[in-house]
Structure 1
Protein backbone atom coordinates (compact mmCIF):
# COMPACT_ATOMS: atom_id res chain seq x y z
CA UNK A 1 0.00 0.00 0.00
CA UNK A 2 2.85 2.39 0.86
CA UNK A 3 4.41 1.67 -2.54
CA UNK A 4 1.16 2.54 -4.36
CA UNK A 5 0.76 5.72 -2.35
CA UNK A 6 4.32 6.74 -3.14
CA UNK A 7 3.69 6.28 -6.87
CA UNK A 8 0.58 8.45 -6.72
CA UNK A 9 2.50 11.21 -4.91
CA UNK A 10 5.32 11.04 -7.49
CA UNK A 11 2.77 11.19 -10.37
CA UNK A 12 1.10 14.28 -8.92
CA UNK A 13 4.45 15.93 -8.44
CA UNK A 14 5.41 15.21 -12.05
CA UNK A 15 2.14 16.69 -13.33
CA UNK A 16 2.68 19.77 -11.18
CA UNK A 17 6.15 20.26 -12.69
CA UNK A 18 4.70 19.92 -16.22
CA UNK A 19 2.02 22.55 -15.59
CA UNK A 20 4.65 24.91 -14.16
CA UNK A 21 6.85 24.47 -17.23
CA UNK A 22 3.91 25.02 -19.59
CA UNK A 23 2.90 28.19 -17.78
CA UNK A 24 6.43 29.51 -17.91
CA UNK A 25 6.67 28.75 -21.62
CA UNK A 26 3.39 30.58 -22.19
CA UNK A 27 4.64 33.63 -20.32
CA UNK A 28 7.82 33.69 -22.40
CA UNK A 29 5.68 33.44 -25.58
CA UNK A 30 3.37 36.26 -24.53
CA UNK A 31 6.03 38.70 -23.32
CA UNK A 32 9.34 39.59 -24.93
CA UNK A 33 12.41 39.42 -22.67
CA UNK A 34 13.82 42.61 -24.18
CA UNK A 35 10.84 44.94 -24.50
CA UNK A 36 8.07 43.43 -22.37
CA UNK A 37 5.69 43.88 -25.32
CA UNK A 38 2.86 41.53 -26.20
CA UNK A 39 3.57 39.50 -29.32
CA UNK A 40 1.58 40.59 -32.37
CA UNK A 41 -1.30 38.31 -33.32
CA UNK A 42 -1.03 36.13 -36.40
CA UNK A 43 -2.07 37.86 -39.61
CA UNK A 44 -4.72 36.01 -41.61
CA UNK A 45 -4.69 36.47 -45.36
CA UNK A 46 -8.11 37.22 -46.88
CA UNK A 47 -9.34 34.62 -49.35
CA UNK A 48 -9.37 35.71 -52.95
CA UNK A 49 -12.87 36.60 -54.16
CA UNK A 50 -13.90 34.68 -57.26
CA UNK A 51 -16.84 35.90 -59.32
CA UNK A 52 -18.87 32.80 -60.15
CA UNK A 53 -21.55 33.41 -62.79
CA UNK A 54 -25.09 32.43 -61.73
CA UNK A 55 -26.46 29.18 -63.16
CA UNK A 56 -28.28 29.64 -66.47
CA UNK A 57 -32.01 30.16 -66.13
CA UNK A 58 -34.07 27.22 -67.29
CA UNK A 59 -36.10 27.90 -70.40
CA UNK A 60 -39.50 26.33 -70.99
CA UNK A 61 -41.10 25.83 -74.41
CA UNK A 62 -44.86 25.36 -74.57
CA UNK A 63 -46.20 23.89 -77.80
CA UNK A 64 -49.69 25.18 -78.50
CA UNK A 65 -49.41 28.10 -76.08
CA UNK A 66 -52.26 29.93 -77.77
CA UNK A 67 -54.80 27.33 -76.69
CA UNK A 68 -56.97 27.00 -73.61
CA UNK A 69 -54.57 24.84 -71.58
CA UNK A 70 -51.38 26.25 -73.11
CA UNK A 71 -52.18 29.85 -72.21
CA UNK A 72 -52.80 28.88 -68.57
CA UNK A 73 -49.47 27.04 -68.48
CA UNK A 74 -47.65 30.09 -69.87
CA UNK A 75 -49.20 32.43 -67.33
CA UNK A 76 -48.45 30.06 -64.44
CA UNK A 77 -44.83 29.67 -65.64
CA UNK A 78 -44.33 33.44 -65.77
CA UNK A 79 -45.74 33.76 -62.27
CA UNK A 80 -42.99 31.37 -61.16
CA UNK A 81 -40.31 33.49 -62.80
CA UNK A 82 -39.47 31.07 -65.60
CA UNK A 83 -38.15 32.05 -69.01
CA UNK A 84 -40.95 31.04 -71.36
CA UNK A 85 -41.41 30.55 -75.11
CA UNK A 86 -44.31 29.25 -77.16
CA UNK A 87 -44.63 27.76 -80.62
CA UNK A 88 -47.89 27.47 -82.52
CA UNK A 89 -49.19 27.79 -86.05
CA UNK A 90 -50.55 31.27 -85.41
CA UNK A 91 -47.39 32.60 -83.75
CA UNK A 92 -47.96 35.47 -81.34
CA UNK A 93 -51.01 35.15 -79.16
CA UNK A 94 -54.11 37.19 -79.87
CA UNK A 95 -54.53 37.64 -76.12
CA UNK A 96 -54.22 41.23 -74.96
CA UNK A 97 -53.29 40.34 -71.38
CA UNK A 98 -50.08 42.05 -70.16
CA UNK A 99 -48.36 38.72 -69.34
CA UNK A 100 -48.40 37.74 -73.04
CA UNK A 101 -45.76 40.40 -73.72
CA UNK A 102 -43.28 38.43 -71.59
CA UNK A 103 -43.47 35.31 -73.76
CA UNK A 104 -41.16 34.66 -76.72
CA UNK A 105 -43.55 33.66 -79.51
CA UNK A 106 -42.57 31.41 -82.42
CA UNK A 107 -44.64 30.56 -85.44
CA UNK A 108 -44.27 27.06 -86.79
CA UNK A 109 -45.97 23.86 -87.88
CA UNK A 110 -45.03 20.65 -86.09
CA UNK A 111 -45.80 18.68 -89.24
CA UNK A 112 -42.66 20.39 -90.59
CA UNK A 113 -40.03 19.53 -87.94
CA UNK A 114 -37.54 22.14 -89.23
CA UNK A 115 -39.73 24.91 -87.81
CA UNK A 116 -38.79 23.72 -84.30
CA UNK A 117 -35.04 24.32 -84.57
CA UNK A 118 -34.90 27.93 -83.39
CA UNK A 119 -37.58 27.49 -80.74
CA UNK A 120 -35.67 24.62 -79.08
CA UNK A 121 -32.42 26.55 -78.61
CA UNK A 122 -31.49 26.63 -74.92
CA UNK A 123 -34.67 24.83 -73.87
CA UNK A 124 -34.49 22.53 -70.83
CA UNK A 125 -38.12 21.33 -70.85
CA UNK A 126 -41.04 21.13 -73.28
CA UNK A 127 -44.76 20.93 -72.57
CA UNK A 128 -46.96 19.96 -75.51
CA UNK A 129 -50.63 20.91 -75.52
CA UNK A 130 -51.00 20.23 -79.24
CA UNK A 131 -54.18 18.42 -80.26
CA UNK A 132 -57.39 18.87 -82.17
CA UNK A 133 -60.47 17.37 -83.77
CA UNK A 134 -61.56 16.83 -87.37
CA UNK A 135 -61.48 13.93 -89.78
CA UNK A 136 -59.91 10.69 -88.60
CA UNK A 137 -56.75 11.26 -90.65
CA UNK A 138 -56.44 14.88 -89.52
CA UNK A 139 -56.87 13.93 -85.86
CA UNK A 140 -54.13 11.31 -86.15
CA UNK A 141 -51.75 13.84 -87.71
CA UNK A 142 -52.36 16.66 -85.26
CA UNK A 143 -52.49 14.49 -82.11
CA UNK A 144 -49.98 11.87 -83.20
CA UNK A 145 -47.58 12.84 -86.00
CA UNK A 146 -47.15 16.47 -84.90
CA UNK A 147 -46.28 15.48 -81.33
CA UNK A 148 -44.02 12.64 -82.46
CA UNK A 149 -42.05 15.14 -84.56
CA UNK A 150 -41.72 17.44 -81.54
CA UNK A 151 -40.61 14.60 -79.26
CA UNK A 152 -37.90 13.48 -81.69
CA UNK A 153 -36.65 17.02 -82.27
CA UNK A 154 -36.49 17.70 -78.52
CA UNK A 155 -34.63 14.45 -77.93
CA UNK A 156 -32.05 15.30 -80.59
CA UNK A 157 -31.56 18.75 -79.01
CA UNK A 158 -30.83 17.23 -75.61
CA UNK A 159 -33.95 18.53 -73.84
CA UNK A 160 -34.11 17.10 -70.31
CA UNK A 161 -37.86 16.71 -69.79
CA UNK A 162 -40.92 16.50 -72.02
CA UNK A 163 -44.50 16.71 -70.74
CA UNK A 164 -47.35 15.68 -73.01
CA UNK A 165 -50.97 16.65 -72.30
CA UNK A 166 -52.82 13.56 -73.52
CA UNK A 167 -56.38 12.49 -72.71
CA UNK A 168 -58.20 10.05 -70.45
CA UNK A 169 -59.69 6.89 -71.90
CA UNK A 170 -63.43 7.38 -72.41
CA UNK A 171 -64.32 3.89 -73.57
CA UNK A 172 -66.84 4.12 -76.41
CA UNK A 173 -65.54 7.54 -77.41
CA UNK A 174 -62.30 5.85 -78.43
CA UNK A 175 -64.08 4.18 -81.34
CA UNK A 176 -65.98 7.28 -82.42
CA UNK A 177 -62.84 9.45 -82.27
CA UNK A 178 -60.48 6.72 -83.42
CA UNK A 179 -57.97 9.04 -85.11
CA UNK A 180 -57.82 11.24 -82.02
CA UNK A 181 -57.04 8.45 -79.57
CA UNK A 182 -54.80 6.44 -81.90
CA UNK A 183 -52.75 9.58 -82.47
CA UNK A 184 -52.50 10.21 -78.73
CA UNK A 185 -51.39 6.62 -78.08
CA UNK A 186 -48.74 6.79 -80.79
CA UNK A 187 -47.35 10.02 -79.31
CA UNK A 188 -47.33 8.50 -75.82
CA UNK A 189 -45.39 5.45 -77.01
CA UNK A 190 -42.82 7.67 -78.74
CA UNK A 191 -42.40 9.82 -75.64
CA UNK A 192 -41.81 6.85 -73.33
CA UNK A 193 -39.23 5.49 -75.79
CA UNK A 194 -37.32 8.74 -76.32
CA UNK A 195 -37.61 10.09 -72.74
CA UNK A 196 -37.62 7.04 -70.44
CA UNK A 197 -36.41 9.12 -67.47
CA UNK A 198 -37.87 12.53 -68.29
CA UNK A 199 -41.10 11.87 -70.14
CA UNK A 200 -44.39 12.59 -68.35
CA UNK A 201 -47.86 11.98 -69.80
CA UNK A 202 -50.86 13.70 -68.23
CA UNK A 203 -54.25 12.14 -68.97
CA UNK A 204 -56.95 14.55 -67.82
CA UNK A 205 -60.57 14.05 -68.72
CA UNK A 206 -62.84 17.05 -69.23
CA UNK A 207 -60.84 20.21 -68.42
CA UNK A 208 -62.93 23.07 -67.11
CA UNK A 209 -62.23 26.76 -66.58
CA UNK A 210 -63.11 30.03 -68.28
CA UNK A 211 -62.65 29.33 -71.95
CA UNK A 212 -62.58 32.13 -74.49
CA UNK A 213 -64.47 31.60 -77.75
CA UNK A 214 -64.00 34.70 -79.87
CA UNK A 215 -65.19 37.61 -77.77
CA UNK A 216 -67.20 35.29 -75.52
CA UNK A 217 -65.98 33.75 -72.28
CA UNK A 218 -67.59 30.49 -71.26
CA UNK A 219 -67.48 29.80 -67.49
CA UNK A 220 -67.17 26.02 -67.73
CA UNK A 221 -66.32 25.85 -64.06
CA UNK A 222 -70.01 26.33 -63.23
CA UNK A 223 -70.55 22.76 -64.42
CA UNK A 224 -67.09 21.25 -64.05
CA UNK A 225 -66.35 22.15 -60.43
CA UNK A 226 -69.47 20.51 -58.88
CA UNK A 227 -68.97 17.44 -61.08
CA UNK A 228 -65.38 17.11 -59.94
CA UNK A 229 -66.39 17.31 -56.28
CA UNK A 230 -68.90 14.50 -56.73
CA UNK A 231 -67.02 12.18 -59.11
CA UNK A 232 -63.64 12.33 -57.38
CA UNK A 233 -65.22 10.23 -54.62
CA UNK A 234 -66.72 7.75 -57.08
CA UNK A 235 -63.46 6.18 -58.28
CA UNK A 236 -64.76 2.57 -58.03
CA UNK A 237 -67.42 3.42 -60.63
CA UNK A 238 -64.64 4.26 -63.07
CA UNK A 239 -63.77 0.55 -63.20
CA UNK A 240 -67.18 -0.52 -64.51
CA UNK A 241 -67.05 -2.04 -68.02
CA UNK A 242 -68.16 0.16 -70.95
CA UNK A 243 -69.71 2.97 -68.90
CA UNK A 244 -66.98 3.25 -66.26
CA UNK A 245 -64.90 5.92 -68.07
CA UNK A 246 -67.95 8.20 -68.10
CA UNK A 247 -67.45 8.64 -64.35
CA UNK A 248 -63.98 10.14 -64.82
CA UNK A 249 -64.01 13.40 -62.83
CA UNK A 250 -63.36 16.72 -64.60
CA UNK A 251 -60.31 18.72 -63.58
CA UNK A 252 -59.59 22.44 -63.29
CA UNK A 253 -57.37 23.89 -66.03
CA UNK A 254 -55.25 25.61 -63.37
CA UNK A 255 -54.59 22.23 -61.76
CA UNK A 256 -53.44 20.80 -65.10
CA UNK A 257 -51.17 23.82 -65.60
CA UNK A 258 -49.61 23.49 -62.14
CA UNK A 259 -48.97 19.75 -62.46
CA UNK A 260 -47.57 20.13 -66.00
CA UNK A 261 -45.12 22.78 -64.76
CA UNK A 262 -44.13 20.73 -61.76
CA UNK A 263 -43.50 17.72 -64.01
CA UNK A 264 -41.42 19.87 -66.39
CA UNK A 265 -39.25 21.56 -63.75
CA UNK A 266 -38.97 19.14 -60.83
CA UNK A 267 -36.16 16.63 -61.50
CA UNK A 268 -37.59 14.14 -58.99
CA UNK A 269 -41.09 14.15 -60.46
CA UNK A 270 -41.70 10.52 -61.51
CA UNK A 271 -41.74 9.82 -65.26
CA UNK A 272 -44.59 7.90 -66.81
CA UNK A 273 -48.37 8.26 -67.02
CA UNK A 274 -50.37 10.44 -64.60
CA UNK A 275 -54.13 9.92 -64.73
CA UNK A 276 -56.76 12.38 -63.56
CA UNK A 277 -56.54 11.13 -59.96
CA UNK A 278 -52.80 11.65 -60.05
CA UNK A 279 -53.32 15.18 -61.35
CA UNK A 280 -55.65 15.89 -58.43
CA UNK A 281 -53.03 14.53 -56.05
CA UNK A 282 -50.02 16.40 -57.48
CA UNK A 283 -51.74 19.75 -57.90
CA UNK A 284 -51.31 20.57 -54.19
Structure 2
Protein backbone atom coordinates (compact mmCIF):
# COMPACT_ATOMS: atom_id res chain seq x y z
CA UNK A 1 0.00 0.00 0.00
CA UNK A 2 1.31 3.44 -0.96
CA UNK A 3 1.06 5.68 2.12
CA UNK A 4 -0.07 8.79 0.23
CA UNK A 5 -1.97 7.24 -2.65
CA UNK A 6 -5.68 7.76 -3.29
CA UNK A 7 -8.48 6.38 -5.43
CA UNK A 8 -11.48 8.47 -6.45
CA UNK A 9 -14.86 7.19 -7.63
CA UNK A 10 -17.31 9.67 -9.09
CA UNK A 11 -14.42 11.79 -10.34
CA UNK A 12 -16.40 13.26 -13.24
CA UNK A 13 -19.26 14.44 -11.04
CA UNK A 14 -19.63 17.75 -9.23
CA UNK A 15 -18.06 16.89 -5.86
CA UNK A 16 -15.83 14.12 -7.17
CA UNK A 17 -14.19 16.37 -9.75
CA UNK A 18 -13.33 18.86 -7.01
CA UNK A 19 -11.94 16.07 -4.82
CA UNK A 20 -9.73 15.01 -7.72
CA UNK A 21 -8.47 18.49 -8.60
CA UNK A 22 -7.67 19.29 -4.97
CA UNK A 23 -5.88 15.97 -4.43
CA UNK A 24 -3.71 16.65 -7.46
CA UNK A 25 -3.05 20.21 -6.35
CA UNK A 26 -2.24 19.25 -2.75
CA UNK A 27 0.83 17.34 -3.87
CA UNK A 28 1.55 14.47 -1.46
CA UNK A 29 -1.12 12.19 -2.95
CA UNK A 30 0.70 10.04 -5.52
CA UNK A 31 -0.65 8.36 -7.46
CA UNK A 32 -4.28 9.42 -7.60
CA UNK A 33 -6.30 6.78 -9.43
CA UNK A 34 -9.74 7.40 -10.91
CA UNK A 35 -12.06 4.61 -12.02
CA UNK A 36 -14.94 5.93 -14.10
CA UNK A 37 -16.96 5.60 -17.29
CA UNK A 38 -14.95 8.39 -18.88
CA UNK A 39 -11.69 10.17 -18.28
CA UNK A 40 -11.76 13.21 -15.97
CA UNK A 41 -10.91 16.66 -17.26
CA UNK A 42 -8.03 17.03 -14.82
CA UNK A 43 -4.49 16.27 -16.00
CA UNK A 44 -1.40 15.55 -13.94
CA UNK A 45 1.66 13.27 -13.94
CA UNK A 46 0.27 11.94 -10.66
CA UNK A 47 -3.05 10.92 -12.24
CA UNK A 48 -3.78 7.32 -13.15
CA UNK A 49 -7.08 7.37 -15.05
CA UNK A 50 -8.83 4.02 -15.62
CA UNK A 51 -11.83 4.15 -17.94
CA UNK A 52 -14.41 1.36 -17.92
CA UNK A 53 -17.97 1.85 -19.12
CA UNK A 54 -19.12 -1.17 -17.09
CA UNK A 55 -19.46 0.10 -13.52
CA UNK A 56 -20.02 -3.48 -12.30
CA UNK A 57 -16.30 -4.05 -12.89
CA UNK A 58 -15.13 -1.10 -10.79
CA UNK A 59 -14.88 -2.98 -7.47
CA UNK A 60 -12.70 -5.65 -9.09
CA UNK A 61 -10.57 -2.93 -10.68
CA UNK A 62 -10.00 -1.40 -7.26
CA UNK A 63 -9.01 -4.81 -5.92
CA UNK A 64 -6.50 -5.12 -8.74
CA UNK A 65 -4.63 -1.90 -7.96
CA UNK A 66 -1.09 -2.53 -6.77
CA UNK A 67 -0.18 -1.14 -4.37
CA UNK A 68 -3.60 -0.59 -2.85
CA UNK A 69 -4.51 3.07 -2.28
CA UNK A 70 -4.21 4.39 1.24
CA UNK A 71 -7.50 6.28 1.00
CA UNK A 72 -10.52 5.84 -1.25
CA UNK A 73 -13.12 8.53 -1.90
CA UNK A 74 -16.55 7.68 -3.25
CA UNK A 75 -18.72 10.45 -4.64
CA UNK A 76 -20.77 8.08 -6.79
CA UNK A 77 -24.32 9.26 -7.28
CA UNK A 78 -27.04 10.00 -9.78
CA UNK A 79 -30.65 11.17 -9.94
CA UNK A 80 -33.81 9.17 -10.34
CA UNK A 81 -34.47 10.85 -13.70
CA UNK A 82 -30.97 10.17 -15.05
CA UNK A 83 -31.05 6.57 -13.86
CA UNK A 84 -34.48 5.90 -15.31
CA UNK A 85 -36.31 5.18 -12.08
CA UNK A 86 -35.79 4.58 -8.39
CA UNK A 87 -34.72 0.94 -8.83
CA UNK A 88 -31.90 1.89 -11.18
CA UNK A 89 -30.89 4.77 -8.95
CA UNK A 90 -30.67 2.34 -6.02
CA UNK A 91 -28.26 0.17 -8.03
CA UNK A 92 -25.89 3.13 -8.38
CA UNK A 93 -26.34 5.22 -5.24
CA UNK A 94 -26.55 2.22 -2.91
CA UNK A 95 -25.42 -1.05 -4.46
CA UNK A 96 -22.38 0.25 -6.35
CA UNK A 97 -21.18 2.30 -3.40
CA UNK A 98 -21.54 -0.73 -1.11
CA UNK A 99 -19.57 -2.95 -3.47
CA UNK A 100 -16.83 -0.35 -3.84
CA UNK A 101 -16.58 -0.05 -0.04
CA UNK A 102 -16.35 -3.82 0.35
CA UNK A 103 -13.67 -4.05 -2.32
CA UNK A 104 -11.74 -1.25 -0.63
CA UNK A 105 -11.78 -3.11 2.67
CA UNK A 106 -10.67 -6.32 1.00
CA UNK A 107 -7.87 -4.49 -0.81
CA UNK A 108 -6.52 -3.10 2.46
CA UNK A 109 -7.59 0.54 2.08
CA UNK A 110 -7.10 2.27 5.44
CA UNK A 111 -9.46 5.24 5.09
CA UNK A 112 -12.73 5.26 3.18
CA UNK A 113 -14.60 8.51 2.53
CA UNK A 114 -18.21 8.57 1.36
CA UNK A 115 -20.02 11.68 0.16
CA UNK A 116 -23.46 11.14 1.65
CA UNK A 117 -26.21 13.67 2.32
CA UNK A 118 -27.94 15.51 5.10
CA UNK A 119 -31.05 13.67 6.29
CA UNK A 120 -29.68 10.17 6.81
CA UNK A 121 -30.54 10.45 10.50
CA UNK A 122 -34.03 11.17 11.75
CA UNK A 123 -37.35 10.95 9.92
CA UNK A 124 -35.97 11.14 6.37
CA UNK A 125 -33.74 8.10 6.99
CA UNK A 126 -36.82 5.89 7.24
CA UNK A 127 -39.18 7.61 4.82
CA UNK A 128 -37.16 9.01 1.92
CA UNK A 129 -35.85 6.49 -0.65
CA UNK A 130 -32.85 8.73 -1.33
CA UNK A 131 -31.97 8.94 2.37
CA UNK A 132 -32.42 5.19 2.73
CA UNK A 133 -29.86 4.63 -0.04
CA UNK A 134 -27.30 6.88 1.61
CA UNK A 135 -27.96 5.49 5.09
CA UNK A 136 -27.50 1.94 3.82
CA UNK A 137 -24.06 2.81 2.47
CA UNK A 138 -23.11 4.59 5.69
CA UNK A 139 -24.11 1.52 7.72
CA UNK A 140 -22.03 -0.76 5.52
CA UNK A 141 -18.95 1.46 5.90
CA UNK A 142 -19.35 1.45 9.66
CA UNK A 143 -19.71 -2.35 9.74
CA UNK A 144 -16.60 -2.83 7.60
CA UNK A 145 -14.50 -1.18 10.33
CA UNK A 146 -11.92 0.62 8.25
CA UNK A 147 -9.11 2.22 10.22
CA UNK A 148 -11.15 5.34 9.46
CA UNK A 149 -14.58 5.55 7.87
CA UNK A 150 -15.47 9.16 7.07
CA UNK A 151 -19.00 10.18 6.14
CA UNK A 152 -19.53 13.63 4.65
CA UNK A 153 -23.12 14.91 4.86
CA UNK A 154 -23.58 18.14 2.90
CA UNK A 155 -26.85 19.95 2.42
CA UNK A 156 -27.70 21.31 -1.00
CA UNK A 157 -24.53 21.11 -3.11
CA UNK A 158 -23.68 24.33 -4.91
CA UNK A 159 -21.69 24.39 -8.13
CA UNK A 160 -21.88 24.20 -11.89
CA UNK A 161 -22.90 20.77 -13.15
CA UNK A 162 -22.26 19.58 -16.69
CA UNK A 163 -25.95 18.69 -16.93
CA UNK A 164 -28.22 21.18 -15.26
CA UNK A 165 -31.06 20.12 -12.96
CA UNK A 166 -34.04 22.51 -13.06
CA UNK A 167 -35.34 22.12 -9.50
CA UNK A 168 -31.84 22.05 -8.07
CA UNK A 169 -30.97 25.16 -10.05
CA UNK A 170 -34.03 26.94 -8.67
CA UNK A 171 -33.15 25.89 -5.12
CA UNK A 172 -29.57 27.04 -5.64
CA UNK A 173 -30.73 30.50 -6.69
CA UNK A 174 -32.87 30.79 -3.58
CA UNK A 175 -30.12 29.51 -1.29
CA UNK A 176 -27.50 31.86 -2.67
CA UNK A 177 -29.83 34.67 -1.67
CA UNK A 178 -29.61 33.46 1.91
CA UNK A 179 -25.95 34.38 1.87
CA UNK A 180 -26.95 38.02 2.26
CA UNK A 181 -28.56 37.23 5.60
CA UNK A 182 -25.93 34.78 6.81
CA UNK A 183 -27.98 31.58 6.48
CA UNK A 184 -26.48 29.92 3.41
CA UNK A 185 -23.89 27.82 5.26
CA UNK A 186 -26.58 26.13 7.33
CA UNK A 187 -28.46 25.03 4.21
CA UNK A 188 -25.94 24.50 1.41
CA UNK A 189 -22.23 24.14 0.75
CA UNK A 190 -20.08 24.71 -2.31
CA UNK A 191 -18.76 21.55 -3.97
CA UNK A 192 -15.21 22.87 -3.63
CA UNK A 193 -15.63 23.28 0.13
CA UNK A 194 -17.16 19.80 0.48
CA UNK A 195 -14.26 18.27 -1.42
CA UNK A 196 -11.66 20.06 0.65
CA UNK A 197 -13.39 19.05 3.88
CA UNK A 198 -13.27 15.41 2.79
CA UNK A 199 -9.55 15.65 2.02
CA UNK A 200 -8.75 17.55 5.21
CA UNK A 201 -10.56 14.91 7.26
CA UNK A 202 -8.31 12.18 5.84
CA UNK A 203 -5.25 14.25 6.75
CA UNK A 204 -6.47 14.66 10.31
CA UNK A 205 -7.19 10.94 10.51
CA UNK A 206 -3.63 10.17 9.44
CA UNK A 207 -2.36 12.58 12.09
CA UNK A 208 -4.34 10.76 14.78
CA UNK A 209 -6.69 13.73 15.21
CA UNK A 210 -9.96 12.16 14.07
CA UNK A 211 -12.55 12.12 16.89
CA UNK A 212 -13.36 8.46 16.22
CA UNK A 213 -12.82 5.65 13.72
CA UNK A 214 -16.26 6.31 12.23
CA UNK A 215 -16.41 10.06 11.71
CA UNK A 216 -19.51 11.86 10.45
CA UNK A 217 -19.01 15.39 9.10
CA UNK A 218 -22.11 17.55 9.28
CA UNK A 219 -22.60 20.85 7.49
CA UNK A 220 -20.80 22.94 10.13
CA UNK A 221 -17.86 20.51 10.03
CA UNK A 222 -17.70 20.85 6.26
CA UNK A 223 -17.49 24.63 6.51
CA UNK A 224 -14.84 24.41 9.23
CA UNK A 225 -12.58 21.86 7.53
CA UNK A 226 -13.19 22.82 3.92
CA UNK A 227 -13.11 26.58 4.16
CA UNK A 228 -11.93 27.97 7.49
CA UNK A 229 -9.14 25.51 8.28
CA UNK A 230 -8.26 24.96 4.62
CA UNK A 231 -7.62 28.66 4.20
CA UNK A 232 -5.49 28.54 7.34
CA UNK A 233 -3.38 25.75 5.82
CA UNK A 234 -2.88 27.78 2.65
CA UNK A 235 -1.75 30.84 4.62
CA UNK A 236 0.80 28.73 6.47
- Report the TM-score, using the length of structure 2 for normalisation: 0.75
Structure 1 contact 125–161 (Cα < 8 Å) conserved: yes
- d(CA) in 2 for partners of 1:167 and 1:56? 30
1:123-179: CA deviation from partner (whole Å, max 9, x where unpaired) = 00001000112212112111111011011111111111000000111888778851x
Distance in 1 between the 2:2 and 2:62 partners?
Answer: 22
Q: Which residue of 2 aligns with 1:86?
A: 34
**Number of matched pairs:** 207
Match of 2:69 in 1: 123
Relative CO higher for 1 or 2, CA cutoff 8 Å, sep ≥ 6? 2
Name the residue aligned to 2:92: 142
What is the match of residue 50 of structure 2?
106
Between structures 1 and 2, the one with greater helix share: 2
SS in 2 for 1:124: strand
Q: Which of 225, 232, 253 in structure 1 is aligned with 2:191? A: 253
Q: How large is the RMSD of aligned CA atoms in angstroms? A: 3.0
Structure having the higher Rg = 1
CA distance in structure 1 between the partners assigned to 2:125 and 2:144 by the alignment = 25
Unaligned runs of 5+ in 2: 230-236
Q: What residue number does 1:202 align with?
A: 152
Instruction: Provide the rounded CA distance (Å) in 1 between the counterparts of 2:66 and 2:176.
Output: 36
Kept in 1, the 8 Å contact 2:2–2:67? The answer is no
**Structure 1 unaligned regions, length at least 5:** 1-54, 234-247
Equivalent residue for 1:281?
Answer: 224
Q: Tell me which stretches of 4 or more aligned residues in structure 1 moved more than 6 Å.
A: 170-176
**SS of 2:78 mapped into structure 1:** coil
Counterparts in 2 of 1:196 and 1:119: CA distance versus 1, 3 Å:
closer
Q: Secondary structure at the match of 2:182?
A: helix
TM-score when scaled to structure 1?
0.64
Instruction: Report the Cα offset of residue 197 of structure 1.
Output: 3.9
SS in 1 for 2:68: coil
